Every structure is written in structure tokens, then in C-alpha cells.
Amino acid sequence: MPVLPDSNPPEPTVPVETSSSLTPPEQLLSDVARLPALPGVYRYFDGSGAVLYVGKAVNLKKRVSSYFQKNHGGTRIGHMVSKIARMETTVVRSEAEALLLENNLIKTLNPKYNILFRDDKSYPYLKMTGVVPCANAAPISGSAFSRVSYYRGAVEKKHRYFGPYPNALAVKEAILLMQKVFRLRTCEDPVFNNRTRPCLLYQIKRCSAPCVGHISASDYAQDVINAERFLRGDARQVMDVLEARMMAHAQALEFEQAAELRNQVSALSNVLHQQSVDNVSDRDVDILAVKVQGGRACVNLAMVRGGRHLGDRPYFPVHVEDAAGIHHDEHDDPQAAQPAPSVEAQVLEAFVAQHYLNVPVPPSLVVSQPVDKGLLKALSIQSGVKVTAVHQPREQRRLWLEMAQTNAALQLTRLLSEEGSQQARTRALVDALDLAPASLEELRVECFDISHTAGEATQASCVVFHHHKMQNTEYRRYGIDGIAPGDDYAAMRQVLMRRYGKLAETLQEAQKTGLTPAGTGCLPDLVLVDGGKGQVSMAREVFGQLGLDLSLIVGVEKGEARKVGLEELVFADGREKVYLGKDSAALMLVAQIRDEAHRFAITGMRAQRAKVRVDGGKLEEIPGIGPKRRAKLLQRFGGVRGVALAGVEDIATVEGISHELAEEIYRALH
């Protein structure tokens, strides 16, 4: 695992702060002079505390000093150095530790001048549950017969996992294969333990029906073993074993068993033919191809597991141009031992370093660009497995790499096309509403919506559009309480006060003192509310009370019959409402943001409502209320809401509920 800062006792983190009596360059040079000539990691921060850059060095003093020893002019590194207000360094024991710590910090801090790959969902696995039964297995139960299933999450030692797979479809195809060839069960244990006759999967020859004893424990165990061998890449060995068993049954005149094995061999043979595995020595391989174009980059990751090509997944890093410019300037030295690597090589190395911090790394990588040997050594130390990379492969590996390169180019072309369309929409919105963002890239829109069912489980949502796309990590839900059920105006007032109240106070205080505290947020360029004049009037009242600019508020009023494309925009600053036209790119973007706010609010409301109605809310948390009494209460009053509306005397009429317990229930629900 990567070595974190507090696990390196040789030298603690060295914070370097600027002093008010010295200009930043003088203070930084003074502190840089005191840095040790040891391996480590350095971080640069700007005046607001935002991280600018994270880098590693074999010699901290020499590396960090190089930033301030010459005039970088108008280059990207020059712009970055001009923003540095303070820095921090961490000394480690080796270059490998520095590399791992550097990429841990890059993923954690999101610096502006580093190539950054954002975390995706965890990879899915194929899971084999339970233990492999032996020939004299006792009673039939789910735990005695392994189950094959889809799994995503942290692995547990008591089960066996195969993967990771690039996507859910690849896992489902593998599960279907386990059913067709080895006829393994996929049902959950409660279903398995209560079967009295085979299910449909047995009828269509996708399961051997161990639930009702149609296969012995030892035979099922052998099928599980063969399936696991196949998943690990021992397909030919499995074929040999099955053929030997088939011949043995045939010689013993057990023709039905021989026919079953013959069908299994035939199915497995068809699978191997479809997979076209020409080089089974490559059990587990990742193929990495990178394409850079138009200031964007794509890394296409293809996975081979057990000798089978499982598919691929594209990744798109951010900050490519800024980070590549910094890296180039760092090497822009005629006395440098090596020239700066290409942008493609930088992107690929950044991906390898960041991606495999939390994902198992296979022993072989096939790459479109050469990878630094120090990086491979660090990965080997971290994983405990020797990791090698092949840059110019041959035969089957070359075909895999060519396929990955083609997919990387296609995915990048698609991304650039989509981004061009999205940027055109952003520009159209800015022009249509006469907005004035710092730049088109920085346009920030926040949209609010209210959702409830007849006043129950009211939820407000806030979604964010920034950098030409929805930023789902910045979405927020607000539980609304203390209002009359169904009062959407009061709900809108509450959510806007909670969202902007503290920010308005901070900004007003900053105007008085002339100092803006680090970490202070900023107002969006546009605040959309889902609604017409009523909702806009409430928003105008809130912004007026907070002293904020009323021109930021725009309401999205539904058109005739609530049809998409007929919406009109209502302004809080007194301007006449506007209809942009159903073919307007600006209206398409507004509708997209509004619909996302609506979706996010509805999902939150439904989850809250389900918790109250289905789970019983606080009933089971009340001492003395078990499943039976809870069921009787819900049956009598029709749900938790009905129980909450009932009085103590009414609750006490339920069988098994004493007057004292009824009082306790009433207090808990109120």
C-alpha cells in the first residue's frame, strides 16, 4: 500500500508559510534554502489555500529550488510560480515511496496543474459464494453448494472473487457462461433452501438443480472446480478433464452421464472458439492505449482475465494542457539528462500511477507508450507482484493493443464532439440571458426544485452545472420541515436561506474588512428555480433579505400542457418573461438542468417516503415494539403516518399495546 505522510518517521511534514513582512518570493526562497537534500513530495498552494501542484523529487532541495532560480516568463510554469503563496513538503525514504505518496495526494487534493484521473465506480467482480462441498457433504443447504453471482464492493476472504471486470455486462456474460457450460446455481440461499421442485433454469439446462438433489455434492463440487479453473485461464486443462470423465462413463456403459459431459465439452469448445484465445500464457493482462487531441486525452483500458478478452473502458483526464506544460518546462533545460517525455507518455504514466493505487494490478501491462521503470518498481513493491510493461508487443498482444488504440481514438472523437455541442449550448445561454461569467468555462448555474407527495416527505434539491457539465459531486438535498404540508413557496424560501444565508454573511463581512477567508465559496452566475412567478417572487424576497443580486434569479415556467420546449423564463429583476423557442440551444440547456434538479428531488423524496412507509420509521426503535406489535399497529392505522396521527387512547386499543406503551409510542413519534 502507498506510504502515507505519518508513516515516515525520518522527517515530519515541513510547512512553509509566507510572512506578512516579506514578499512571497523572498520568504519562499528563504525556506527553500532550508530544505533537505532527501527524497520527498512537495505541494504548492495559492493565497486562498487551493492546491496548485503536487510533485515528487529525489532531491527536494534541488528540485524545489529549480522553480525559483530562473525567470519562466509567460509559460505555464511561470503562471503557476507567480501564484504560489506557500508550500509544504514531506520527506520519505525512497523514490518509490515518493511516487506513491505523490499520486495519493494528487487523487486526494485535486491540484490544478497535475494530470488528474477522477475516481470511477468500483469495478465489478464475479463472486463464488460458500465452500466447495466434499463427497460426503451433509444436508443440502445453500452454504454447501457454491453460488455464482455479480458483486461490486470490498472483497471478503470467505468467498472467491474473479476479476475485476471492466463493466457489469462483462460479469453478466461470464455468469451466463457459468450457467451454460457448468450449470452452476445463481439463486440466493433462502430460495435455494425452500425449493421443492426444480425451477425454470433446470428445464432450460442452465442449472443442475442441486436444491432438490438432482446432482450429488461431489459432482457439483467438480463443476465448481472446473468453472474456477476456466475463469483462471486453464480452459484446455478443463477440457481434458471433462473428456477423460466422459470416456470413463462411456466405458462403464453409463451413457446418460457420458452424454451430459459430451454436451458440456461441446459448449466449452464453442466458447473457446468464440473467444479465439491464441495465447493462453497471457492469463491476466491490462492493455493501455492513450490518444491526445484538441487539448483532451483518452486512456482506453482493456482487460484480459484468464486468457479471455473481457472488454474495455475509457478514461478522460483533466488538466492535461496545464500539467503537460508544467512538465515540459521542468525539463526545458539544455543540461538535462533526458528530454521531456511526450504528452501521451505523461498521461499514460499518470493513469498507471493513480489507477493502480486502489485496483489490483496484473503482472503484465501492454502499453502504447513506454512507462518509467521506477513507476513499475513502485507498483511491484506496492502489490507484491513483479509488474512488467511491454511497449512494442507482437502477435496476439499487438492485436489487443491495436484494438485498444482504435477504441481510444473513437472515444476521444466522441467526447470532443459532445463537448463542442455542450460548449455551444453554454455560449447560447450566456448570450440569451446576457450573463457575464469570468469565462465560458467558469459559468456556474445552480438549480432548485421541490418535491413531495401530498405534503409528505418534502425534499428540496440543488444541482450544479459547471465546466459545461453537471457536477453530481456538488449536488445537495435538503430535508424540509417546519412548514405547512404542500407549501412549496415556504419550502423554496427555506432551501434558499440555507443555501445562501451564510455565504451572503461571509461576502458582506469580506466587503467591509477587505479580506476574504480561505475556503469561502462564491455565488453562481445564474440561479434557476423550477416554477413561475410565485417561486420567483419567493426567491426575490430571500435574495433581497440577504442583499444579493436579484438579476441572478430566473424561474423556469412550464409551458402549455407542460410540454418540453415551451417553457418561458421569468426574471426576478423586473424584466419581461422570455420564450427562447423550442429549437433554442439555450433553452435545451435550461431544460436539461431543470430536469436533473427534478429527478434528483424526486429520488430523494421517494427514498424518504419509502423509509417512513415501508421500514416503519421509528417504530422498531421504540423499546417494547417488536415485529408482531409493529405489524398490528401498521395494520390498524394503515402506516406509520396513521400511527403518528392517532392519539394515545386509540393506540392503546391495539391488541398487545398497554396504556404506558401507547404513551411511549406517542412520545417517540412526536
Peptide bond preceding 164: is omega within 30 degrees of 0, i.e. cis?
A: yes
Confidence (pLDDT) at 466: 92
Q: Are residues 180 and 256 in the same domain?
A: yes
Whole-angstrom Cα distance, residue 93 to residue 339? 27
More reliable by pLDDT, 604 or 203: 203
| Grid cell digits, residue 257 | 452421464
Mean pLDDT of 146-163: 82
Residue of 295, 293, 302 whose CA lies nearest to 318: 295
Q: Which residue has the cell 465489478?
A: 124
CB-side neighbour CA atoms (13 Å) of 31:
20
Which string of b and e fits 230-258 if b means at least 16 CB within 10 Å?
Answer: bbbbbbeebbebbeebbeebeeeeeeeeb
CB-based contacts of 473, cutoff 8 Å, min separation 6: none
Burial grade of 29 (CB within 10 A; 0-12, 13-18, 19 or more): middle
Q: Is the pLDDT of residue 238 over 80?
A: no
Residue 25, pLDDT score: 58
SS3 265: helix
- Let me know whether 77 and 141 are in one domain: no
**Residue at which a domain ends, from 557, 586, 606:** 606
Query: Can you state the percent helix, strand and coil of the chain, rounding each to 5?
Result: 45, 15, 35
pLDDT at 647 over 70: yes
Average pLDDT (360-380) is 90
Residues 594 and 645 in one domain: no
- Tell me, yes or no, whether 172 lies in a domain: yes
Residues 92 and 158 in one domain: no
Is residue 325 within 8 A of residue 77, CB to CB? The reply is: yes
- β-strands 476-479, 456-466: how paired? antiparallel
In a domain, 426, yes or no: no
236 and 319: one domain?
Answer: no
Can you give the pLDDT at residue 132? 54
Q: Are residues 166 and 240 in the same domain?
A: yes
Please state which of the ranges 20-24, 242-246, 480-484 shows the lowest mean pLDDT: 20-24
Residue 187 maps to a domain: yes
265, 302: one domain: no
- Mark whether 446 and 595 lie in a shared domain: yes
CB atoms within 10 A of CB 544: 11
Contact status, residue 30 vs residue 127, Cβ threshold 8 Å: no
Residue 396, pLDDT above cutoff 90: no
H or E stretch at 301:
strand 296-305
pLDDT band at 94 (very low <50, low <70, confident <90, very high): confident
Flag whether pLDDT at 188 surpasses 90: no
User: Which pLDDT belongs to residue 273?
Assistant: 47
pLDDT of residue 121: 60
Q: What is the mean pLDDT of residues 503-523?
A: 77
First to last CA, the chain: 49
Are 90 and 138 contained in the same domain?
no
Q: Is residue 280 a part of any domain in this protein?
A: no
Q: Which residues contact 111 (CB under 8 A, 6 or more apart)?
A: 43, 44, 51, 52, 53, 54, 319
Percent of the chain with pLDDT over 70: 84
Counting the structural domains of the chain, the total is 5
Q: Which has more pLDDT, 406 or 621?
A: 406
Burial-class residue 625 by CB neighbours within 10 Å (0-12, 13-18, 19+). Answer: buried
Per-residue pLDDT at 302 exceeds 80: yes
Q: Taking 80 as the threshold, does the pLDDT of residue 640 lie above it?
A: no
More confident residue, 73 or 483: 483
* DSSP character at residue 180: I
Q: Which residue has the higher pLDDT, 347 or 130?
A: 347
Are 465 and 592 contained in the same domain?
yes
What's the pLDDT at 298?
93
CATH of the domain at 539: 3.30.420.340
The whole-number pLDDT of residue 408 equals: 92
DSSP-derived secondary structure letter, 645: H
- Give the CATH number, domain containing residue 377: 3.30.420
Q: Which of 23-32, 128-137, 140-149, 522-531 has the lowest mean pLDDT?
A: 128-137
Domain carrying residue 584? 440-513+523-606
Where is 308: in which H helix or E strand?
A: strand 308-315
pLDDT for residue 22 = 36
The residue type of 290 is: V
In a domain, 231, yes or no: yes
Q: Residues 131, 275: contact at Cβ < 8 Å?
A: no
Residue 116 maps to a domain: no
Q: What is the pLDDT of residues 484-506, one digit of tens each?
A: 888 899 999 999 999 999 888 88
542 pLDDT above the threshold of 70: yes
**DSSP β-ladder status, 553-557 and 526-530:** parallel
Indicate if 380 and 458 belong to the same structural domain. no
Phi first, then psi: what are they for 330, rounded to 5°?
-60, -35
Residue 115 falls inside a structural domain: no
- What pLDDT, in 10s, does the model give residues 548-563? 999 999 999 987 767 7
CATH number for 103: 3.40.1440.10
Tell me the pLDDT band of 5, cut-offs 50, 70 and 90: very low
What letter would DSSP give residue 179?
Answer: I
Last residue of a domain, which of 606, 628, 655? 606
Q: Are residues 497 and 361 in the same domain?
A: no
Strands 456-466, 444-453: pairing is: antiparallel
User: How many residues can be counted in the chain?
Assistant: 670
For residue 200, pLDDT over 50 is answered with: yes
For 110, residues 6+ apart whose C-beta sits below 8 A from its C-beta are 51, 116
**Tell me, what's the pLDDT at 190?**
80
Last residue of a domain, one of 575, 606, 637: 606
pLDDT interval class at 290 (50, 70, 90): very high
C-alpha closest to that of 123 among 361, 409, 404 = 361
- Please tell me the distance from the alpha carbon of residue 382 to that of residue 100, in angstroms, as a whole number: 9
- What pLDDT, on the 0 to 100 scale, is given for residue 279? 43
- Mean of the per-residue pLDDT values of the chain: 80
In a domain, 193, yes or no: yes
Q: Is the pLDDT of residue 20 over 70?
A: no
Residue 137 has what pLDDT?
Answer: 47
| DSSP calls for 38-75 | S-EEEEEE-TTS-EEEEEEESSHHHHHHTTTSS--TTS
